[in-house]
Amino acid sequence: MRFLLLSSLSIWILGFLLPAISLANNLMTNFLLSKIYSTVCHQESAKCISIGGASMLVCARCAGIYAGALTAGLFSLILIVPSISRKVFMFSLIPLVIDVFFTLAGIYNYSQSLAFATGFIFGNIVYLFLQSELENLFANNLYPGNE
């Protein structure tokens, strides 16, 4: 189950990185991928990380979330990771929400580094939370009475 979840995440990440890391500039592929990722990210160009002049198809915060999730997924394959409670999940949102609020309120200017970092923290926790919830769901369905 962990390998399947991590494989799916890796494919998703490769999709939004493709225009930024590909030597070929396929306009149709980039257009289709852009439409797919626009369903999960605003894709404001000033907030997207650029690699070699080409931008990722998600903003820095979303890239951080996915990078954090990938990191947590890789560690969960080789280490025993604790289950994440809903309380920890909710607390992991605090840095992200504060950053968004302070940026929107004009307290400070948007920073790709800070957006990536707050996304990275949240991404680690959300992946571990989702993984534990899915494992509990499958364990309870396969072995009723283990609730």
Asked, for residue 105, whether it belongs to a domain, the answer is: yes
pLDDT value, residue 27: 77
**Mean pLDDT computed over 16-30:** 76
pLDDT for residue 33: 87
H/E element, 114: helix 112-142
Query: Is 17 a residue whose pLDDT tops 90?
Result: no
- Integer-rounded Cα radius of gyration of the chain: 17
Q: Does the structure show a pLDDT above 90 at 55? A: no
Report how many domains make up the chain.
1
Residue 147 domain flag: no
- SS3 of residue 56 by DSSP: strand
Structure tokens, 29: 């592929």
Flag whether the pTM goes above 0.95.
no
Show the tokens assigned to 36: 């797919």
Would 79 be classed as within a structural domain?
yes
pLDDT for res 110: 95
**Is pLDDT of 96 > 80?**
yes
Asked if residues 43 and 59 have their Cβ atoms less than 8 Å apart, the reply is yes
What residues contact 75, with CB distance under 8 A and at least 6 apart? 81
What domain range includes position 9?
Answer: 2-142
Q: What is the pLDDT of residues 58-82, one digit of tens each?
A: 999 999 999 999 999 999 999 888 7
Output the pLDDT for position 111: 96
User: By three-state DSSP, how is residue 16 classified?
Assistant: helix
Half-sphere CA count of 146, side-chain side, radius 13 A? 10
pLDDT of residue 24: 62
What percent of the chain is predicted at pLDDT more than 70? 93
Two tokens at 130?
Answer: 């989702």
